[in-house]
């Protein structure tokens, strides 16, 4: 049985060796992002997320890597994101939230630090924040209908959705030139302070996600409605942000 690493850094050397053997000089960078880079990695539960940056020739020959992927999947390494430097630099106006979150907390495992000099246009970032908040809020309400209001299913929905909203909150804080904390609860508190909004239910949702609180069936509807109300409040504020 494949051994799950206790810490992501325990596999850096072997992972790098495998990908260098596959891509040779076409391998530009290997970057760890996600929970492994934020120090909240849980062995056996968290995936290990890598960004692989290749040359244009390397990305045209992705099939080379098929032989090594099954080995790493067995060790809780997610399928890597694979990009070129040109793709990253040309996508900052389309996906600023995603790249901002990667740059905020990452570990350079091998090669060139392609995140170091990235600069984000706040107008593009504000637009994506609004689009992400509204789109995720619509999806959240649709998924709520699927739960039929049952406590356990509402709890699962909260656990699945809150992480995606936290990623958008990080970008909100960047728009306000506010330091972005690493922990989810601290991010919510920073948003509450920066925008003078109520976030009590959002904090409860973080506690549910992180296992410090459970959702009783009798309170499922009230907690969900509070969750949605605070998200609407933030969405309305984003409409008014001038950059």
pLDDT, residue 38, reads: 85
pLDDT, residue 170, reads: 94
pLDDT, residue 3, reads: 85
pTM above threshold 0.95: no
pLDDT, residue 125, reads: 95
pLDDT, residue 225, reads: 97
Asked if the model's pLDDT at residue 1 lies above 70, the reply is: no
Q: Region 78-85: what's the mean pLDDT?
A: 97
| Edge-to-edge strand ranges of the sheet holding 27-33 | 81-83, 49-54, 27-33, 106-111
Asked if the model's pLDDT at residue 192 lies above 60, the reply is: yes
pLDDT, residue 182, reads: 83
Q: Region 106-132: what's the mean pLDDT?
A: 95
Asked if the model's pLDDT at residue 44 lies above 90, the reply is: no
b vs e for 65-97, b when ≥16 Cβ sit within 10 Å of the residue's Cβ?
beeeeeebeeebbeebeebbeeebeeebeeebb
Q: What percent of the chain has pLDDT above 70?
A: 100
pLDDT, residue 219, reads: 96
What SS3 string covers the chain? CCCCCCCHHHHHHHHHHHHHHHHHHHEEEEEEECHHHHCCCCCCCCCEEEEEEECHHHHCCHHHHHHCHHHHHCCCECCCEEECHHHHHHCCCCCHHHHHHHHHCEEEEEECCCCCCCCCCHHHHHHHHHHHHHHHHHHHHHHHHHHCCCHHHHHHHHHHHHHHHHHHHHHHHHHCCCCCCCCHHHHHHHHHHHHCCCCHHHHHHHHHHCCCCCCCHHHHHHHHHHHHHHHHHHHHHHHHCCC
Q: What's the mean per-residue pLDDT of the chain?
A: 94
Rounded CA separation 126/171 (Å): 8
DSSP lists the bridge partners of residue 82 as: 52
pLDDT, residue 240, reads: 85
Asked if the model's pLDDT at residue 243 lies above 80, the reply is: no
Tens digits of per-residue pLDDT, 193-238?
A: 999 999 999 999 999 999 999 999 999 999 999 999 999 999 999 9
């Amino acid at each position: 049985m494949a051994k799950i690493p206790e810490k992501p850094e325990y596999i850096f050397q072997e992972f790098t060796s495998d990908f260098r053997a596959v891509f040779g000089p076409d391998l530009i960078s290997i970057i760890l992002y996600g929970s492994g880079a934020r120090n909240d990695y849980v062995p056996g539960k968290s995936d290990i997320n890598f960004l692989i940056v290749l040359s244009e020739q390397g990305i045209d020959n992705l099939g080379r890597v098929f032989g090594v992927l099954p080995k790493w999947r067995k060790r809780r390494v997610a399928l890597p994101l694979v990009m070129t430097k040109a793709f990253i630099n040309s996508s900052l106006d389309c996906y600023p939230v995603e790249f901002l979150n990667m740059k905020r907390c990452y570990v350079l495992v091998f090669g060139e630090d392609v995140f170091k000099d990235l600069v984000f246009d706040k107008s593009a970032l504000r637009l994506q924040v609004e689009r992400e908040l509204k789109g995720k809020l619509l999806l959240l309400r649709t998924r709520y209908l699927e739960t039929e209001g049952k406590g356990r299913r509402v709890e699962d929905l909260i656990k699945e959705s809150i992480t995606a909203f936290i990623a958008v909150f990080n970008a909100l804080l960047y728009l306000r030139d506010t330091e972005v904390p690493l922990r989810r609860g601290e991010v919510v508190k920073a948003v509450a302070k920066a925008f003078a909004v109520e976030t009590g239910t959002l904090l409860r949702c973080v506690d549910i996600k992180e296992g410090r609180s459970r959702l009783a069936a009798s309170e499922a509807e009230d907690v969900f409605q509070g969750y949605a109300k605070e998200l609407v409040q933030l969405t309305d504020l984003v409409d008014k942000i001038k950059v």
